[in-house]
Structures are given as structure tokens and as C-alpha cells.
Amino acid sequence: MIPHFSREDVSSILHYLGRLIYGMGIVMLVPVFVGVINMEWAPSIDFILSSLICLCAGSLILLKFNEERDLNWRQGMSLVALSWVMAMFFGAIPLYLSGHYNSYLDSLFEAMSAFATTGLVLVNNVDHMAYAYNFWRHFMCFIGGQGIILVALTLFVKGGSAFKVYVGEAREEKIMPNIIQTARFIWLVSLTYLVIGTSILLFINLLRDISPGRALFHSICLFMSGWDTAGFAVQSQNILYYHSPAIEIVTAMIFLLGAVNFGVHYAVWTGRPHELVRNFELKVYMFSILALFSLVCIGFIMQFPFPGYVPFFRKAFYQLISAHTGVGYSNITVQHFLYFWPPLALLGIILAMGLGGSSSSTAGGIKILRIGLFFKGIKKEIRILTSPESAVIVERFHHIRDISVEDNHIKMSAIIIILYVAVYLAGGVIGSFYGYPFLPALFESVSATANVGLSMGITSPLMPNGLKIVYIMQMWLGRLEFISVFVLFKFILSLKSPQ
Amino acid sequence: MERLLKYLRITYRWIIGVTFELIYPFITFSAAAIVCFLIYMAVIIKK
Amino acid sequence: MKIKHMQVLLFLSILSCRAYASEIVPMHKLFEEADRYEGQKVEVKGEAVGDIMGDGETYWVNVKDGDFFIGIVLDSRQKGLVKNLGRYRVKGDIVRVSGIYNVHCPLHYGERDIHAETIEIVEEGRRIEEKLETDKIILSVLLGLITIIFIYHSHRMKHRKGTGGPHN
């Protein structure tokens, strides 16, 4: 029999949650610093206030639940799911205080969108937003993309509990034997690219005559949101603001690398560069990008004459890889999607968003490895049926090391694929209940669940509140890949009916 | 001395790794550009 | 007297319409009826926001009208006219731009843009001072004190726990 959640479970979860909220309070001091160096006093006070709210709430919880225990699996999973909700509630406070949001719900939406690295925005007039708030939006993307828990892991969760919370955050692979080392390696990769990516972007921005301070701000924010495949940008127009092919190429490089499995990064960085060519997931990824891009091309060129090959390639391909890696950067406007994109091309984008990036990366969606395994499974079944009965069929693939496909892999992949597809469709249906046409509603639903952030115009501060809540749920479910959220639901239900 | 060599080797591998990774997006870009060009030309010629 | 007054008003309003509103295209129309305006000379009005970006010859500035934005291509002389750009604490210059509208500009790799022929500042931008809210400051101080008390307490508890003292 499955044991019910007990009081002990609650107190250990709350203990770590308290620490997490306390940690949020400390992290919020970074935007204070940004505010102070830009002499933005009102935003700095907002961040100090928000930070103090977090510190106060965190220390109050820690005062009440001060005992540190090792977590078991269900506690770890529930803790992860809950900590994302808490992060949303507390991360939204400074956004709400900024006055750029119509309601607290809107700022919750934006906070979840940032933490889950989605990139759907409800902010008003971001062009006149203070640096401190804007930095916080992007910083939340960075924290969420790395994994709120991963950030916390490097700070304070010890020992046996670490792996249990790490797995809850949609990363089942340990790159190194020790989870803390893994977390550190993920940071090393991210920080290395932070330096490289920011420097290149800074260089381009400076060449384009932007003042040094602002160029640095643009570059850091673009990197944080691009690397963690979030898709927020400093200005309302997103990447279109820059009108620069160079920026588009560099951001595309950043998010393509951000959507690569950290295990592959590790292999390549430790003297096995051939992993880039041999890796099964990357091969499927390349194939999938090319296949879906062909779909977009055919859909597009048949119906709509672009003035020449280069403009067409620039706009269509950027959208496609942006969708496929789950970043949601866009170099076109929402109206472009609405008025110029034919249904077949939109279908290509929706499929790309749905499939998502690599597993154990910062990307969202179903993840390419699962799709690959699913097809390997089909191939294996066909081979079994067409071989003599005595034959033993082994299907192999190379992912960091050679692995043979087992039924368990296929089962887990299929479950997750089905769950994602169900949520995509459910969101689309709910959207059409609210009176939107089905295709845009499906587009938006997939975009929210797969943590992409491209929009066909449904996401706006004026959309119905119910739909905002639905999308928040979808972003949360999609980011955590369902399982930990389901464990949390079970936990809450068992609290209501203790036996 | 041995330690220094070890660190040098790690750094060397690291630089090689990052360089390879930076080339990887360009392979994707060019593959897509070729595919797109073929489709584009096919459609233009057909029209 | 009254009729004369009305006539003057009417005349003035017609004059102002001719001078300002008659040819200005609301920006949303450029997006919603893109085909209609493609390749035409249009006139738009809006706030210049963000940065002026460029390569030494051509420059870009983004102009905001409501929720819509469009990139304006300027030359280095026109660039000098725009002094205030909308940012935090700054309301940007309201500019009136006339030029050729391209949905997919052949010169700029398919950008949607307006190649400015004339640009004029309708209303100069200004600095907006930020308001400090005393409520928030007071609240912060109060919360700060409470937090210090909490942290002090939890540390003391930890200490007691460490020395083997009773707790909970």
C-alpha cells in the first residue's frame, strides 16, 4: 500500500521551502545592485521591500520548521513542484510593485513565464521599464532555466536529498557521479557561455553605436534569456528591435547551444568532441529541424511570395529554430504570424514547438530524445515481427555511451509524449472555449506548455483571467515534466483525506 | 609540474570543446540554408 | 458674435486637421492592412524609444504608437534630430516621419520598415522624475526589523540545538 503523507513530510518540505524563500530574498539583492548603479531609487526600494518580504517569510518558516531531515522521493518531488509555485508568488512581488502590470495575476503569469523559461509576456510598456525590473525579469529566466532547485542545490541542499530534488526538475541524467559536481558543471558551462555570448553581443551592440552601458545591459539580458531558452527581451519588439542580422545569428547560436544536453557539453569539453557527430539525440535533432523547416518552406513559398531567398530564409528559419529550441525569440511581429503565415507553415512551427529541445538542457517540450526513442521502439517492434521467433533483437543508440533500447525507455517516453500531447490539445480546446479560433489557441497552448513563448496574439494583458491561470498551469506542468506535479497533487489529496 | 601539465591538458580540451561547439550551430544553419535554397528554387522554377 | 466665434473655431480645427492629422496613418493599420500601404509613402507619428542603432551610414530608431512599433531607417543627418529616446524616466521625442513603407524591405533583408524622407519633432521629450513612496520605505524598515528578530531567534535555536539543549 502506498503510505500517506504525514506531518513529518509536511515539516521537512516546509523546512526546505523556507530555505528556498529565504534564498529568493538574497537573490533579489542583485537587482537592488543594478538599480543602485543606475541610480534608480524607487525600483531599488521595491526590490529591498520584496527581498525583505522573502527573508521575513523564509525565516518565519525556518523558525517554525527548523529540523533538517533527508528527503525521500515523494517529499523531494513535492518540494520541487511546490518550490516553483512559491518562486512564482515571491518573484512576482517586485514585478507587481513596478506598476507595469494590470494585476497581481499578470505579474504571477510573467514570473512563471520567466521561471519556466517560457517567454510569454503580459508586461505593459516594457520600453519605459527601469533597468532593475527588466534585469529581474531576465534574471528570473536565468535562475529558472538553470533550475531553481539546481541553484538551491549549489547553495544549500546536502547529501542524499540532492538527487531526489534534482530529478524532480526534469533532469533525469546525472552527468557526473556526484550531483553537486553535476550542478557545478552546469554552472561552469553556463558561465563560460555567459562570458563568450555576452562579449560577442556586446561587441556587436557597441559597433552599432549603442552607448556602452546600455549595450552591456542588452547583451547580458539577451544572453540570459537566450541561453536559458526563455525568450524575454529588453524591449517590446523582442529581437526585431535590433534590426540586425548579426544579433540574430549570435542569438541563434546561443539558444541552439542552450538546447544541447549538458551531458553532451560535458563529453565534448572533456576530450570527446566526436560526441557532437555521434550523439543520437543531436542527429534526430538535426533531422527534425531540417524536416520541419522543409514543411515551413513548402507551406510558405507555395502561398506567399517573399521578396527573395535571403529575407525568406532569415525570417522563416529564425522562427523555426526559435520554436524548436523553445526559446521564443522572434524577429517578426505577431501580426506577421497572423496575416502572412499560411496554416501549413504554422503547423510546422507548432510541431517544432511541441517537440522541443534536448533532454537535460534548458529547453522545454517533449524533448528530442524521447521522440527518437519512440521511433526506435517502433523500429524494434517491426524488426521483432519480421524476424524469426528465436532471434534476439537489440536496438542500440549512442547517447554519451552506447545504450540498448529497453522497453522501459520506450514506455516512459511514450507516457510523457502522450501527457504532453494531451495537455497541448486540452489547452487549445480551452482557448477555443474562450472564443479564440482553434489554430491560434493551439499555437498558444503549445507555446505555453513547451515553454517556448512565441505568440499569435492571444497572450495579452486583456486576455481572460481564466486563460491566464490555464497557461500558468501549463507552463508549470511543462517545465517540470508532469511527474513531480502529479506527486504534489497526490500529496495534497492525501492531506485532505488522512486515513 | 605534473599538476601544471594536467591543468594545461584540461584547459586545452576545454578550448577545443568550446570551439567545436561554436562550429556546431553553423553546420545547422548551412544545412538548413541548403535545404531551403533547394525548395525555394524548385518552387520558383515550377512557377 | 457667437457665429463668428464658431466660424473661427471651425476654421482653426480644419487648419489643424490639415496640418497634422490628415495624412498620418495610425500605426496599427500598417500591420493590419499591410498590402494596402506596401511600397507607398506614408506618414506616421509616435514616440522614439530605446536606442538609435546604426553602422555609420544608416541608422535605425524604433517608433512606438500605442502597442505598435515600427523601425525607421534614418541617415546620419536625420539621426541627429532625435535627441530624447523613451526609456525609464524619459519620455521620448514624439516624431512625425514620412517615408516609404516596406513590409519586407529588399534593402534590409526583409525588415518591415519606413525609409524616412522627412522627420520632424512634434513634441520634445522630457525627463520624468521618479516618485519615492514613503509607505514602502516605512514598510521596509519595519519588515527589516522583524526579519532581524526572526533571524536572531532561529540562530539562537540552532545554537541551542548544537549544544545539545532541548528544542521543539
pLDDT digits (tens, 9 = 90+) for C121-162: 999 999 999 888 999 999 999 999 999 999 888 888 777 765
Specify the pLDDT at position A160: 59
User: C-contacting residues of A 23-52, CB under 8 Å?
Assistant: 40-42, 45-46, 48-49, 52
Query: Strand C111-123 to strand C68-75: parallel, antiparallel, or no bridges (unpaired)?
Result: parallel
A236 touches chain C (CB under 8 A): yes
Pairwise CB contact (< 8 Å): C88 & A130: yes
Quick one: average pLDDT of A451-475? 94
Task: Please state at what angle helix A148-155 crosses helix A73-97, rounded to 10 degrees.
Answer: 110
Please report which confidence band the pLDDT of residue A303 belongs to, taking 50, 70 and 90 as the band edges: confident
Specify the pLDDT at position C153: 86
Specify the pLDDT at position A243: 93
Is the Cβ–Cβ distance between A322 and A296 less than 8 Å? no
Pairwise CB contact (< 8 Å): A307 & C104: yes
In a domain, A139, yes or no: yes
Q: Outline where DSSP puts E strands in A228-319.
A: none
Answer yes or no: is pLDDT of A319 > 50: yes
Separation between Cα atoms, residue A361 and residue A145, nearest integer Å? 9
- Higher pLDDT: A146 or C15? It is A146
The shortest CB-CB distance from C31 to any of A211, A242, A333 is to A333
Pairwise CB contact (< 8 Å): A302 & B17: no
Mutation target among B11, B12, B24, B41 for the A interface, most CBs of A within 10 A: B24
Q: What share of chain A has pLDDT > 90, as a percent?
A: 64
Q: What share of chain A is helix, strand, coil (3-state, %, to 5)?
A: 70, 0, 30
Quick one: average pLDDT of A163-186? 73
Query: Strand C41-54 to strand A401-404: parallel, antiparallel, or no bridges (unpaired)?
Result: unpaired
Answer yes or no: is pLDDT of A496 > 80: no
Q: Which residues of A touch B37 (CB under 8 A)?
A: 309, 313
In a domain, A354, yes or no: no
Q: Which residues of A touch B31 (CB under 8 A)?
A: 286, 290
State the fold for domain C19-127.
Answer: OB fold (Dihydrolipoamide Acetyltransferase, E2P) (2.40.50)
Quick one: average pLDDT of C62-79? 92
Nearest to A121 by CA among A109, A138, A104: A109
Pairwise CB contact (< 8 Å): C50 & A127: yes
Q: Which residues of A touch C113 (CB under 8 A)?
A: 243
Nearest to A316 by CA among A357, A349, A358: A349
Specify the pLDDT at position A154: 64
Answer yes or no: is pLDDT of A182 > 90: no
Quick one: average pLDDT of A421-425? 96
Q: Which residues of B touch A288 (CB under 8 A)?
A: none
Mutation target among A21, A96, A125, A127 for the C interface, most CBs of C within 10 A: A127
pLDDT tens per residue, range A320-353: 999 999 999 999 999 888 888 889 999 999 999 9
Specify the pLDDT at position A157: 57
Average pLDDT, chain A: 89
A314 touches chain C (CB under 8 A): yes
Pairwise CB contact (< 8 Å): C55 & A235: no
Specify the pLDDT at position A400: 84
Pairwise CB contact (< 8 Å): A196 & B18: yes
Is the Cβ–Cβ distance between A266 and A350 less than 8 Å? no
A303 touches chain C (CB under 8 A): no
Q: Nearest residue on chain A to C59, judged by CA atoms?
A: A208
In a domain, A304, yes or no: no
Quick one: average pLDDT of C158-167? 54
Answer yes or no: is pLDDT of C168 > 50: no
Please report which confidence band the pLDDT of residue A427 belongs to, taking 50, 70 and 90 as the band edges: very high
Is the Cβ–Cβ distance between A468 and A109 less than 8 Å? yes
In a domain, A16, yes or no: yes
Amino acid of residue A148: I
Please report which confidence band the pLDDT of residue C22 belongs to, taking 50, 70 and 90 as the band edges: very low
Answer yes or no: is pLDDT of A288 > 60: yes
Please report which confidence band the pLDDT of residue C21 belongs to, taking 50, 70 and 90 as the band edges: very low
Please report which confidence band the pLDDT of residue C13 belongs to, taking 50, 70 and 90 as the band edges: very low
Amino acid of residue C122: V
Mutation target among A293, A325, A361 for the B interface, most CBs of B within 10 A: A293
Q: Nearest residue on chain B to A317, judged by CA atoms?
A: B32
Q: Which residues of A touch B36 (CB under 8 A)?
A: 293, 297, 309, 312-313, 316-317
Specify the pLDDT at position C110: 87
Q: A229 CB contacts (<8 Å, ≥6 apart)?
A: A117, A145, A255, A258, A259, A325, A326, A327, A328, A357, A361, A362, A363, A364, A451
The number of domains in chain B is: 1
Specify the pLDDT at position C17: 42
Separation between Cα atoms, residue A186 and residue A194, nearest integer Å? 12
Specify the pLDDT at position C14: 46
Answer yes or no: is pLDDT of A166 > 80: no
Q: Which residues pair with C15 in a beta bridge?
A: none
Q: Which residues of B touch A286 (CB under 8 A)?
A: 28, 31
This prediction's pTM: 0.91
A150 touches chain B (CB under 8 A): no
Domain that holds residue A140: 1-172+465-499
Separation between Cα atoms, residue C110 and residue C168, nearest integer Å? 68
Separation between Cα atoms, residue A368 and residue A361, nearest integer Å? 11
What is the grid cell recorded at A288? 527534425
Specify the pLDDT at position C15: 45
Domain that holds residue B29: 1-47
Quick one: average pLDDT of B21-32? 92
Separation between Cα atoms, residue A77 and residue A62, nearest integer Å? 20
Which H or E run contains C116?
strand C111-123
User: C-contacting residues of A 199-218, CB under 8 Å?
Assistant: 205, 207-211, 214
Q: What are the extents of the domains in chain C?
A: 19-127, 131-168
Quick one: average pLDDT of A202-228? 95
User: B-contacting residues of A 242-271, CB under 8 Å?
Assistant: 249, 252-253, 256-257, 260, 265, 268-271
Separation between Cα atoms, residue A322 and residue A352, nearest integer Å? 9
In a domain, A57, yes or no: yes
Q: Which residues of A touch C62 (CB under 8 A)?
A: 235, 237, 241
Q: Nearest residue on chain B to A251, judged by CA atoms?
A: B25
Q: Which residues pair with C105 in a beta bridge?
A: C111
Quick one: average pLDDT of A168-187? 74
Q: Which residues pair with C60 in a beta bridge?
A: C53, C73
Q: What share of chain A has pLDDT > 70, as a percent?
A: 93
ipTM value for the complex: 0.92
The alpha-carbon radius of gyration of chain C (Å, integer) is: 28
Q: Which residues of A touch C91 (CB under 8 A)?
A: 128
- Higher pLDDT: C164 or A28? It is A28
The shortest CB-CB distance from A307 to any of C110, C130, C150 is to C110
Burial A211-243 (b: 16+ CB within 10 A, else e): eeebbbbbbbbbbbbbbbbbbbbbbbbbbbbbb
Answer yes or no: is pLDDT of A437 > 70: yes
Average pLDDT, chain B: 89
A122 touches chain C (CB under 8 A): no
Specify the pLDDT at position B44: 78
Specify the pLDDT at position A360: 85
Quick one: average pLDDT of A66-89? 86
Q: Count of A–C CB contacts within 8 Å?
A: 131
The number of domains in chain A is: 1
The shortest CB-CB distance from A52 to any of C32, C50, C143 is to C143
In the DSSP assignment, the letter for residue C87 is: B
Answer yes or no: is pLDDT of A174 > 60: yes
Sign of CA dihedral A332, A336, A337, A343: negative
- B30/chain A closest Cα distance in angstroms: 11
